[in-house]
Structure 1
Amino acid sequence: MEGNHLLDTRGSFTQKKNMLLHVQRHCKEKPYFCEVCGSRFTMRKSMLRHMQIHTGKKPHSCEVCGTSFTRKLYMLQHMRTHTGEKPYSCEVCGSSFTRKHYMLQHMRIHTGEKPYSCEVCGSSFTMKQYMLKHMRTHTGEKPYSCEVCGSSFTIKQNMLQHMRTHTGHIEEKSHSCGVCGASFRMKHHIMLHMRTHTGEKPHSCEVCGASFSMKHHITLHMRTHTGEKPHSCEVCGASFAMKHHMVRHMRTHTGEKPYSCEVCGSSFTINQNLIQHMRTHTGEKPHSCEICGSSFTMKHHMLQHLRTHTGEKPYSCEICNSSFTSKQNMLEHMRTHTGEKPYTCEVCGSSFAQRRSMVRHMRTHTGEKPYPCEICGASFIQKPHMLRHMRTHTGRSAIS
């Protein structure tokens, strides 16, 4: 009976050896094993291919850049980075990909599928690797270690960035700038650096005339004219003109926040956000208004403030043509037309068009009265109420 079961495979074969291999898949027989690690295989060629992991043999080489691979399939996939071929297309939005695997991952953006879930907090992810990275926030695992000082990191990229703090000191820098003392390993680099002092910008854009100190910078600048965005996100297909913008975007998928505040532990996706956050602790306000001297933690806040002096209102409502100094104020105004009230009170369910209105409303539940009278100590929910009360002490008319 057992023999009859093995032969009842519903398949036909031209050669007996192919039939025997097929039968092995049904009975899960794996007669070939690796002498190094003990892994077992149904076919001899699979075992030989596996052995290349141990021997380091990579018989398939790229004719363009010389990179070598263990399997011909991997080499052919790599060739697409040179040819630009992207044979797998998304049927929904048309984004194209070099591998079918990437296209299937991308499709989850449209379907909303997140098949990989964190067993600790329930967060779900589109890719297994993102879930594994996220798990380290719970386990504290830091598998990537610095060979110099032993510091460990949760993400390889962070470890490589850290390593540069050592290589910058260890590697000899024999070429020094006579102006500021900065040192460089190569003479070519110091010549480029000197342009920061001389102001020399020998590379000019043929389209708009903008000039640059380095050829690489004009290459990046030209993409603002051509619209070229050569760096694509493998998850959602979004494309970017510069690689570091794409790397930063990837953190929206992974949830990675590599920049942490040493004071309160808050973490951020980009270093600039951490620098701005630190000012809430230090009180630093480096951006000052040239007219009235008011200072601000962020430059764009100072620029918005300047409009109170210039009267500039660059953001206009498309419905009633009212104009505003900031985009946020214009968006809040638009809700008077749409009736949208996105901020909801968790206690009573009341909804509000503006966040500050909801915060103010919450005080009716909490009893908080953050505005005290400096004379008698009476406190109020809203600042205008406190100012109106103050007039009972000063004798000023409430109407004035």
Structure 2
Amino acid sequence: MEYNCETSDDATQTIKRCFACKVCKKPFLSNSDLIRHGRTHSGEKPYGCEICGAKFAIASNLRTHMQTHTGDRPFPCEVCGSRFSRRGILKSHVKTHTGEQPFSCSICGSKFSENSNLRKHMRTHSGERPFRCVTCGATFTVKANLKTHLRTHTGEKPFGCNTCGSKFSDKSTLRKHIQIHSGDRPFRCQICGSAFSRRDYLKTHMVTHTGEKQHECEMCGARFSQNSSLTQHVRIHIGEKPHPCPVCDSRFIQKSNLKKHMKVHARELFEMSCTASNMTMQTLPLHT
């Protein structure tokens, strides 16, 4: 479907032909742009990685993905030396040095370095959670969180530590883990002097001084200082238990509760092995 789109500049006003999406009516100046956009509705991903099988809707995303295999990072940060696979990622990174946060929330005043982060933040006010897990029904404000959540069902841990070999389901947890080895804590609290490895850790810590609880449960009104605490609390209302026991059918809201539960099975197995060796609970302390 073709439409006439009006475009103008300082000198003249011109009329260009454009193409509109039949699903959402969004206009595009070229048919190729319309085709690429259409894949966001159809889910078509015609470009596949020959190494790992990942698929993408546009060729440029495949090229960027290939750099995860080749390790190519041609864009260096002039401040800290970090290197990035895309210029846009470098541009976002530089703002961590400058502190620039030009995008602010009109409701609560929170500021962000990227407009995309502001859009995600606005969902905390609107309650919009457009990304749903087909396995358990859990919903998320951003697609990346859904993708990470799905790994709690599959058990996939694609991110490995080069130092100790530990594996993680998401890249952010790996980054936190790596700082255990490096010991780097560049973010310091100006009130008490505590130092942290990440800016968001410092931000979370500051709540202990301010007492601020800006994350509110829409179901019961309970307030929390951290969004992660709110997420765990909401699971009580919706009944979500994303951490299953691999031994029995038990499921848990928090991973820490699953770890405690696993000790029950560990002791059961220990007692069974001792029973097989004709040992009793009274003799267990002597068992070496």
TM bracket, shorter-chain basis: 0.3 to 0.5
Q: Could you say which structure has the larger radius of gyration? A: 1
The TM-score with structure 2 as length reference comes to 0.46
